[in-house]
Amino acid sequence: MFDFTYFLDTATRLAPALPMTLFIAIFAFFAGLVLGLILAFIKLYKLPLLYPVALIYISFFRGTPLLVQLFMFYYGLPIFFRSLGFELDFSLIDALYYALLIFSLNSSAYLAEIMRSALLAVDKGQKEAALSVGMTHAQALRRIILPQAFMITLPNLLNFFIMLVKNTSLASIITVPELMGLADIESGRSSKFLEVYLMAALMYWALCVILETVFFKLESRLKKFRKAYA
């Protein structure tokens, strides 16, 4: 029988995991964005040696499930390093660090393609105009091209962040105590799986609705700038 009182009480038990969920998503988003920009430029300019590496990297992280990547790095890396003769105690490394690494690498592959498309969408005349007034390529990129690219692709970036928040639930597989990880612990302790997982689902939903509302207001405020860059 559904325990409604326990269901409501579960919210207070799971709430402490929300900061961890947001931390993983925010860290992975910004770390992935930095690396993704580097990969996007490598692909755009087809830099020798780095170009094929970037192609393989992006293809691998976009073409394999995130869950598989988590298992591969969390369980596979210690075995790989031991085979090379590194006698390190990997049990001392918190699972959170593995999660941050994998989520960042995975995000960078997707954000690389998002940013590459955005950079291609910026009118080439913008760069030519910047160079004609004496700007260097770096100045034109920093002051003209990148701001426009970010404004053009802003909805895609915000939607990706929301998707990333939901994907953090996979970190529970490697024992990271984010929202889903704490839900696993609580459900195992109480054996009231329906109440716990239903509350976890509602908390993810509420978090995404809040983010969507905030992002909608942000987009509305920046709408005039996006129109100017469209």
The amino acid at 179: L
Q: What is the mean pLDDT of residues 187-215?
A: 95
Angstrom distance (rounded) from CA 17 to CA 183:
9
- Spatial distance between the Cα atoms of 153 and 115, rounded to a whole number of angstroms: 7
What pLDDT band is residue 229 in, cutting at 50, 70 and 90? Answer: low
Distances (CA, A) of 168 to 19, 25, 42: 12, 7, 28
Each residue of 107-125: pLDDT tens digit? 999 999 999 999 998 888 8
* pLDDT (tens digit per residue) in 129-166: 877 887 888 888 888 888 888 888 999 999 999 999 99
Q: What is the pLDDT of residue 94?
A: 92
Among residues 198, 196, 197, 207, the alpha carbon closest in space to that of 163 is found at 207
Residues in the chain: 230
Average pLDDT over residues 38-47: 94
Helix (H) / strand (E) element for 196: namely: helix 193-221
Can you tell me whether residue 222 is helix, strand or coil? coil
Q: What is the mean pLDDT of residues 208-214?
A: 96
pLDDT at residue 26, rounded to an integer: 97
Residue bearing the bigger pLDDT, 125 or 199: 199
Looking at the predicted structure, is the pLDDT value of residue 228 above 80? no
Say which residues have a Cβ less than 8 Å from residue 177's Cβ, sequence separation at least 6.
17, 20, 185
